[in-house]
């Protein structure tokens, strides 16, 4: 029992270390916005969703200064959203889908598994003196940058959409908002520099929508009440401050 516990703690600690290095690489390209109220808002919303993820992490949610339409989920519970993506959204429910999608990437260890596979490949190539396992955080950061530039398997994106919708719906948000977000993404031109990386690293929004429809998203219960004015107000305030 004790052995299982310590193994679990050790794995989580390594995830956090990888997550910090990966975050450093993304933040090297675009720093955090400096607005405490906005960052607090996105952390409260992310925190409320994470309670339905079925996993325990020290979650950290940040917003980066970038026109890009993108979001990044790092191992260990680090999540970064671009200001450009947030400005394209129209409700807290839509933001809940974006956050829940990224939370699902973390809990399913999508990026961490890619890092682990790279480590194994490194070990095979260099023997026991592989350097990426420990210590070399800069190298780990650069390797992480390559993962985010290349993207994950389509199946990982579809899974995060599906689990993300489950998380947001359990938390009390409207699953229709997921369709709204994919609709918005579909409206960006393929050569729009803001969305170029998103389109090269993700399945097309129409594929993602079709997968959600096939999964039964339109059979999910919707909230009984319309979003409260207070919810809409705090989201608008958030939008205006980023």
Residues 12-51 that bind other proteins (CB under 8 A): 20-21, 23-32, 39-40, 43-48, 51
| CB of 180 vs other proteins, minimal distance in Å | 8
Is 130 a binding residue for other proteins by CB under 8 A? The answer is no
**Minimal distance, residue 196 CB to other proteins, in Å:** 6
Q: How many residues bind other proteins (CB under 8 A)?
A: 107
Hunting for tokens 């908002």 — which residue is that? 177
Three-state helix/strand/coil letters over the chain = CHHHHHHHHHHHHHHHHHHHHHHHHHHHHCCECCCHHHHHHHHHHHHHHHCCCCCCCCCEEEEECCCCCCEEEECCCEEEEEHHHHHCCCCHHHHHHHHHHHHHHHHCCHHHHHHHHHHHHHHHHHHHHCCCCCCCHHHHHHHHHHHHHHCCCHHHHHHHHHHHHHHHHHHCCCCHHHHHHHHHHHCCCCCCCCCHHHHHHCCCHHHHHHHHHHHCHHHCCCCCCCCCHHHHHHHHHHHHHC
Q: Which stretch binds other proteins (CB under 8 A): 3-11, 109-117, 125-133, 157-165?
A: 157-165
Distance between CA 105 and CA 102 in Å, rounded?
A: 5
Smallest distance, other proteins to C-beta of residue 3, A: 29
97 makes contact with other proteins (CB under 8 A): no
Q: Which of residues 98-127 bind other proteins (CB under 8 A)?
A: none
Query: Which residue number, 137 or 241, has a Cβ lying nearer to other proteins?
Result: 137
Member of 90, 118, 136, 241 binding other proteins (CB under 8 A): 90
Task: Choose the stretch contacting other proteins; rule: CB under 8 A; options: 58-66, 99-107, 112-120, 128-136.
Answer: 58-66
Measured CA to CA, the distance from residue 173 to residue 93 in angstroms comes to 6
Contacts (CB under 8 A) with other proteins, residues 60-79:
60-62, 66-70, 78
Taking CB under 8 A as the rule, does residue 240 contact other proteins? no
Residue 215 engages other proteins in binding (rule: CB under 8 A): yes
Q: Assess 89 for contact with other proteins (CB under 8 A).
A: yes
Tell me the closest approach of the beta carbon of residue 88 to other proteins, in angstroms: 5
| 84 lies in the binding site for other proteins (CB under 8 A) | yes
Tokens standing for residue 27: 């933040």
Contact 181, 86 (CB under 8 A): no
Beta carbon of residue 92, minimum distance to other proteins (angstroms, whole number): 7
Closest contact distance (angstroms) between CB of 145 and other proteins is 4
């Amino acid at each position: 029992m004790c052995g299982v516990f310590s193994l679990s703690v050790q794995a989580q600690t390594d995830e956090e270390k990888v997550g910090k290095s990966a975050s450093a690489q993304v933040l090297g390209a675009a720093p955090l916005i400096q607005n405490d109220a906005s960052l607090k808002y996105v952390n409260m919303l992310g925190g409320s969703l994470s309670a339905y993820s079925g996993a325990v992490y020290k979650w950290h949610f940040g917003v980066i200064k970038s026109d890009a339409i993108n979001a990044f989920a790092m191992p260990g519970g680090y999540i970064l959203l671009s200001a450009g993506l947030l400005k394209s959204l129209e409700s807290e429910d839509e933001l809940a889908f974006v956050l829940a999608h990224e939370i699902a990437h973390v809990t399913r260890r999508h990026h961490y598994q890619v890092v682990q596979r790279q480590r194994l490949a490194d070990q095979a190539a260099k023997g026991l003196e592989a350097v990426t396992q420990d210590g070399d955080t800069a190298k780990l950061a650069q390797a992480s940058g390559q993962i985010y530039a290349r993207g994950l398997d389509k199946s990982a994106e579809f899974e995060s959409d599906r689990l993300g919708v489950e998380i947001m719906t359990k938390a009390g948000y409207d699953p229709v908002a997921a369709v709204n977000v994919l609709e918005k993404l579909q409206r960006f031109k393929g050569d729009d520099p803001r969305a170029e990386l998103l389109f090269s690293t993700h399945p097309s929004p129409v594929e993602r929508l079709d997968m959600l429809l096939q999964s039964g998203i339109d059979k999910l219960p919707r909230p009984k009440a319309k979003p409260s004015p207070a919810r809409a107000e705090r989201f608008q305030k958030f939008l205006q401050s980023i």
